[in-house]
Homo-oligomer: A and B are copies of this chain.
């Protein structure tokens, strides 16, 4: 079994990104909008801020109250769209109830949409038209397996969970690389029926330890996107301890996809910054 070491690979990526920025006075800028005070959201944002600092990038947090006006958020984003020192704008999801997520995300200019959630970037991904930005978690999954030389062409792949943020864009990326993708979800009649026969599993449904030893075949490749909490401890969607010995490759949680996601956010922000400099 080989561990897909997202921590190590993301550190390598971050080092290379540092070189791309170094020596430039005009450093890339990332703006993060947080509405409300979800503990997990604050934790994720802190992790992003930390990597931004390591890279010498500018990081601006706009922390808005849970009862703020949606129009204020929209105005805030529009200002950032026009702010030349900001190269990437992200809105930390999920939003508190009552906010229109789609409307808010679509206010971000597609050229600064480094999370890849804007409808135009989504449409271009879906239609395989070279989107400017791709959602960071699916992109991080692909970069991680690429680093280990895993070629998905012709493989049978199960994606568990089809959110717009992870599962759905991931299934598109896999399909565009010629994998045979099965999208499983809460309405899937018998998950095991699918996972037991598949060559590769991407689990992104957010259910702790849903993928168990008796559900996978010998030699399977597993990328575990889940971040769940049991007794304050982070666990993935996969019962890692019992499943790992059947795998040819598997990601740990934490230290797998998580750090890759943040590295991809930085990569895309720097990409936006470089593109602007070229203009």
A interface vs B, CB < 8 Å?
102, 119-120, 122-129, 153-156, 162, 164, 168, 171-172, 175, 178-185, 187-189, 193-194, 197
Cross-chain contact B119 with A123 (CB below 8 angstroms)? yes
Which of B119, B172, B189 contacts A124 (CB under 8 A)?
Answer: B119
Cross-chain contact A187 with B178 (CB below 8 angstroms)? yes
Write the chain B residue with the least CB distance to A117: B127
Which of B155, B168, B184 contacts A180 (CB under 8 A)?
Answer: B184
Write the chain B residue with the least CB distance to A124: B119
A162 and B126 alpha carbons, distance in the complex (Å)? 11
Further pairs besides A119-B124, A125-B126, A128-B164: 8, Cβ < 8 Å: A119-B120, A127-B164, A175-B183, A178-B185, A180-B182, A180-B184, A181-B182, A182-B183
Copies assembled: 2
Cross-chain contact A154 with B189 (CB below 8 angstroms)? yes
Write the chain B residue with the least CB distance to A181: B183
A123 and B110 alpha carbons, distance in the complex (Å)? 13
Cross-chain contact A126 with B126 (CB below 8 angstroms)? yes
Write the chain B residue with the least CB distance to A174: B183
Cross-chain contact B184 with A188 (CB below 8 angstroms)? no
In the complex, how many angstroms separate the beta carbon of A119 from the nearest chain B beta carbon?
A: 4
A184 and B155 alpha carbons, distance in the complex (Å)? 11
A189 and B156 alpha carbons, distance in the complex (Å)? 8
Which of B122, B129, B180, B189 contacts A187 (CB under 8 A)?
Answer: B180
Contacting residues, chain B, for A197 (C-beta < 8 A): 193
A187 and B157 alpha carbons, distance in the complex (Å)? 13
A-B residue pairs in contact (CB < 8 Å), sample of 21: A102-B127, A119-B120, A119-B124, A119-B127, A122-B126, A126-B168, A126-B172, A127-B168, A154-B187, A155-B189, A156-B189, A156-B194, A171-B183, A175-B185, A178-B185, A179-B187, A180-B185, A180-B187, A181-B182, A181-B183, A182-B182
